[in-house]
Amino acid sequence: MAREYAPEGFTFVFVYTREAHPGEYYGPHRSMEQKLAHARAFQERNRIERPILVDDLAGTGHRLYGALPNMTYILSRGGRILFRSDWTDPPTIAMYLQYLLAVRQRRNAGERLAGFYTECVGYHNVDPVKFQQGLAQAGPQAVEDFARTMRRWNSQGKIPSRIEE
């Protein structure tokens, strides 16, 4: 997607933060050297081509933006927040970028536009098998910790990241 939208002037950046699911193989960050090493491994494993910015050890940037594990923010050239979501879903991002391109076309056609506030519910893919594989890459502890947390969420009747329909 980053390659697809670069000609349109969009820049994609990945901000690398804490280990959301630490385990034996990828534990919690205790030094910047370790965090950078984990970031390189992440880049190679996922073949990420876009720039990766590694947040400091205290998570300064991550905390400013909400400290959630998988957020997306879309900013204007002037640094204003145009879009924010508590999860990352490529079709949702593409939808909004296409909307921005349409706004550009409308302005180029002479239409006067003013920004307004909206909210919406997004939908992301849920693949438990793939998710478990991701956890296993960090180590058995990551798998067990998530399973224990899921049992607690189920007993409470709510997964915090989900919006029920």
Partner 1 sequence: MTTHDGQEEYNYGVFEGKEDFAGFRTLLQVGTQAPDFTATLLASGASVKLSEY
CB of 103 to partner 1, least distance (A): 14
CB of 119 to partner 1, least distance (A): 9
> 19 or 101, CB closer to partner 1?
19
> 67 or 95, CB closer to partner 1?
67
> 5 or 83, CB closer to partner 1?
83
> 32 or 102, CB closer to partner 1?
32
Nearest CA to 88 out of 12, 11, 7 is that of 12
CA within 13 Å, CB half, 30: 3
Site for partner 1, rule CB under 8 A? 11, 13, 15-16, 18-22, 27-30, 32, 36, 39-40, 43, 51-61, 63-69, 71, 73, 75, 79-84, 86, 115, 117, 141-142, 145-146, 149, 152-153, 160-161
CB of 75 to partner 1, least distance (A): 5
Question: CA 106 from chain center: how many Å?
Answer: 29
Residue 56: DSSP 8-state: P
Nearest CA to 149 out of 127, 125, 131 is that of 131
Nearest CA to 75 out of 83, 67, 85, 65 is that of 83
CB of 73 to partner 1, least distance (A): 7
> 6 or 110, CB closer to partner 1?
6
Helix 128-138 with 140-156: angle, nearest 10 deg:
130
Q: Is 9 exposed, middle or buried (0-12, 13-18, 19+ CB in 10 A)?
A: exposed
CB of 51 to partner 1, least distance (A): 6
